[in-house]
A and B are shown apart, each in its own frame.
Chain A
Amino acid sequence: GEDVEQSLFLSVREGDSSVINCTYTDSSSTYLYWYKQEPGAGLQLLTYIFSNMDMKQDQRLTVLLNKKDKHLSLRIADTQTGDSAIYFCAESDYNQGGKLIFGQGTELSVKP
């Protein structure tokens, strides 16, 4: 079945860039998402990309998609302590609209 994998932890210094990586297996993925979860809170949609795109930028966030390698990354520029959270990658298949397959989440720790 479909699978989405992420590394579990990432630690960066305040002001540096963070890059969170994700790989997926479903070749018919049509949408790929990044969600952020702060402690005790829900899943906040950060950004998403259609599978026919290879890059999307939104302020400090840059999403890169390598469809050939089924690799997705989220770059956060000028990382702040408020960016500390768990970041989830998720994919959906057009034929299964709304059914997201999530990765296990990457815990980002930002040190001052």
Chain B
Amino acid sequence: EPEVTQTPSHQVTQMGQEVILRCVPISNHLYFYWYRQILGQKVEFLVSFYNNEISEKSEIFDDQFSVERPDGSNFTLKIRSTKLEDSAMYFCASSDNSDANSPLHFGNGTRLTVT
């Protein structure tokens, strides 16, 4: 069964550094998302992306964050200058083009640790 893949599974970085989290969505999906889960808290929506542009973003998704689809397969989340509070599990998800409310399929996540 097709799946969403994320790399790396664990990323450790120093405060102030830039990180890029990578995702390969399911190949025929056209809607892409990033969510995050801070340890002990709920999974939170960050951003949705469709047709090469952001369709919605949350208050968390400030100027430090950006997303890109650099080619036909990858979908990336960049954090320009990481802060301690960015430490979390980051999940990528995708859904197909039948309906924007089609079920989201999630990757296994990237655990980001900012020291």
What is A's interface to B at a CB cutoff of 8 Å? 30-31, 33, 35, 40-45, 48, 88, 90, 92, 94, 96-105
How far does the alpha carbon of A43 sit from the alpha carbon of B33 in the complex, in Å? Answer: 13
Interface size on B, residues (CB 8 A): 26
**Contacts of A45 on B, CB cut-off 8 Å?**
103-106
Q: Report the tally of A-B residue pairs with Cβ distances under 8 A.
A: 59
Q: Is the CB of A99 within 8 A of B42?
A: no
Q: A41-B108, A88-B43, A96-B56 given; name 14 further pairs at CB < 8 Å.
A: A30-B101, A42-B91, A42-B107, A43-B91, A45-B106, A90-B43, A92-B101, A97-B31, A97-B100, A98-B33, A99-B45, A100-B104, A102-B42, A102-B44
* Most interface-central of A35, A42, A48, A98 (chain B CB within 10 A): A98
Q: Which one of B31, B43, B48, B95 lies within 8 Å of A102 (CB-CB)?
A: B43
- B62 CB within 8 Å of chain A: no
Please name all residues of chain B whose beta carbon is closer than 8 Å to the beta carbon of A99 when the two chains form the complex.
45, 48, 56
- Which of A96, A103, A105 has most chain B Cβ within 10 Å? A96
Q: For the complex, give the distance between the alpha carbons of A99 and B101 in Å.
A: 8
Q: Is B63 an interface residue (CB 8 A)?
A: no
Residue of A nearest to B89 (CB): A42
Task: Report Cα–Cα, A48/B105, bound state, in Å.
Answer: 12
Instruction: Determine whether the beta carbon of A98 is less than 8 Å from that of B43.
Output: no
CA distance A105 to B37 in the complex (A): 11
What is the chain B residue whose CB lies nearest that of A4?
B42
Residue of chain A at shortest CB distance from B50? A98
Contact A94 B101 (CB under 8 A): yes
Question: B61-105: which have CB < 8 Å to A?
Answer: 91, 93, 95, 99-101, 103-105
Provide the B47-64 mask, 1 if CB < 8 A to any CB of A, else 0.
Answer: 010000001100000000
Cα-based distance from A99 to B58 in the complex (angstroms): 9
